[in-house]
Amino acid sequence: MSSPPIIAFDLEGVFLPEIWIAVAERTGLPALRRTTRDEPDYDRLMRERMEILERHGLTLADIQQVIAGMEPLPGAVEFLHWVRQRAQMVILTDSFYEFVAPFLPKLGWPTVFAHTLEVDARGMLTGYRLRIPDGKRKAVEALRDLGFRTAAVGDSYNDTTMLAAADQGILFRPPQNVVQDFPHFPVARTYDELRRELERFLCEIAEIA
């Protein structure tokens, strides 16, 4: 019997709009538009974000107010339903439980591995706690060690080690700079294209059985 499949997905850019871009648009602070699609160094990016929030007096509650008005990407819920009928899945995100919690019922309560924020008495973001450095890659490697055949889907620099650790890595709607830096990963621009890539992966597993 072949190893069972499991699919690991990034969250923002795959199922959700980019939260920080939405905050940038709501607050009129374009510097907050920078994401892991632009900056490979996650710690540098988060430090920059927290400095901007502190400078402008924006609290966690202000960010959560923006998040409360956001919805999953068009077609995301239907695509998730399709995936669940065919394989186990997990969402691996470098976002934070304080940000993503409102989306979980909208996405059908998927399993999500995220990080946590540090917040002071004023409600200001002062830091963050990673579950483990490079957690996306390590999660996929652990799933492989547990006997699963793995596919991974993401859109940003911080997803590429996860994609490389999987049996099949797929870029979904990535910016051109990520495509140029990682040309060996197949690219899907729509959920229909992503379905076809995942169907190919699942068919290969079935043929091995």
Same domain for 84 and 187, yes or no, is yes
* Three-state DSSP state, 116: strand
Residue that finishes a domain, picked among 53, 68, 83? 68
Contacts of 59 (CB under 8 A, 6+ apart): 53, 122, 123, 124, 125
Distances (CA, A) of 1 to 5, 20, 183: 12, 44, 33
Q: Domain residues for 53?
A: 21-68
The one catalytic residue in 12, 18, 159, 197 is 12
Contacts of 71 (CB under 8 A, 6+ apart): 106
Please write the tens of the pLDDT for every residue from 65-75: 999 899 999 99
CA atoms of 56 and 145, how far apart (whole Å): 46
Task: Return the pLDDT at 35.
Answer: 85
Tell me if residue 38 is catalytic. no
| Nearest alpha carbon to residue 41 among 133, 151, 154 | 133
* Structural domain includes residue 194: yes
Could you say which DSSP state residue 169 is in?
E
Same domain for 164 and 191, yes or no, is yes
| Cβ proximity of 36 and 157 under 8 Å | yes
* Structural domain includes residue 86: yes
Same domain for 96 and 55, yes or no, is no
The one catalytic residue in 10, 98, 155, 159 is 10
What is the number of structural domains in the chain? 2
pTM of the model: 0.90
* Structural domain includes residue 52: yes
Please write the tens of the pLDDT for every residue from 80-115: 999 999 999 999 999 999 999 999 999 999 999 999
Task: Return the pLDDT at 119.
Answer: 95
Task: Return the pLDDT at 137.
Answer: 97
Give the other-Cβ count within 10 Å of 128's Cβ: 19
Same domain for 76 and 139, yes or no, is yes
Distances (CA, A) of 22 to 28, 82, 125, 182: 10, 27, 17, 27
* Structural domain includes residue 122: no
CA atoms of 110 and 112, how far apart (whole Å): 6
In terms of DSSP H, where are the helices of 101-175?
135-145, 160-165
* Structural domain includes residue 201: yes
* Structural domain includes residue 123: no
Distances (CA, A) of 53 to 65, 84, 105, 138, 167: 14, 38, 28, 31, 39
Same domain for 52 and 145, yes or no, is no
* Structural domain includes residue 125: no
| Nearest alpha carbon to residue 134 among 48, 12, 42, 39 | 42
Tell me if residue 48 is catalytic. no
| Cβ proximity of 45 and 36 under 8 Å | yes
Low-confidence ranges of the chain (pLDDT < 50): 1
